[in-house]
Copies of this chain bind each other. A is one copy, B any other.
Amino acid sequence: MKKTRIGLIRVLTTNDPEVLGLHGNIIMDLFPELEVITHCIPGQPQGVFDQTTEKQAWPKVVALAQEMATDGLKAIVVSCAADPGVRQAREVLDIPVIGAGSAAAHVALSLDTSIAALGITDNIPEAMADVLGPALVASAKPAGVETTIDLMAPNGKKATLEQAEKLKEKGAKILVLACTGMSTIGIAQDICEELNIRVVDPVVASGFLAWYVAREL
């Protein structure tokens, strides 16, 4: 099978090839037609978790996207729910640039307009809030979680599940995850199984859109 090459940008700086490749592997497992080439931006070992780290990240994302695009990619995924640099990268690139945050929000809204969001910040990223608009019925973050690293701590999954349950009680029909660190810990499936609510995962959603581009639908 001839695979279609897409790029993926991590905003969590890491030298560990296993950590680096986690999001690309999620996408390749679900969409075997894709080959995902992953790179991370420099200097952000805690990733993007507030406005300051988002501002630090976006020019680095654009620069990396420009560099990666010379490698014959069909699309580039920015694997962060805040979509850092997505708008700006679209201005300079000819291939589609898919932001995990906006992709997840759009997939959720295609299925319903009663959405709750679970992130790692007090307010969900602007890139998602802007898309969700009045469809966002509630949002929350797990207790004790401030960065994507905290999600990987022993208590991260439990705290996330507890908060998801509270969001479900507020009546949303779909729960969208507002941090790709939640994709890293694979929490979507746990929430779906335990709480019986549809969960949209941002890494999966961005891979789904990249697959749309690759298939030339």
Contacts and interface: CB of A to CB of B under 8 A. Distances in A.
A213 B112 CA distance: 12
A185 interface: no
Q: What is the oligomeric copy number?
A: 2
Nearest to A216: B192
Contacts of A201: 217
28 contacts: A30-B215, A87-B113, A90-B112, A90-B113, A90-B173, A96-B111, A96-B112, A96-B198, A97-B112, A98-B111, A102-B109, A102-B110, A103-B110, A106-B106, A106-B107, A106-B109, A106-B110, A107-B110, A107-B209, A107-B212, A109-B131, A110-B209, A111-B212, A111-B213, A204-B217, A205-B217, A208-B212, A208-B217
Contacts of A212: 107, 111, 208
Nearest to A131: B109
Chain A interface, >50% SS class: helix
Interface of A: 30, 87, 90, 96-98, 102-103, 106-107, 109-113, 131, 173, 198, 201, 204-205, 208-209, 212-213, 215, 217
Nearest to A207: B217
Nearest to A87: B113
B90 A110 contact: no
Contacts of A205: 217
Contacts of A96: 111-112, 198
Contacts of A112: 90, 96-97
Nearest to A112: B90
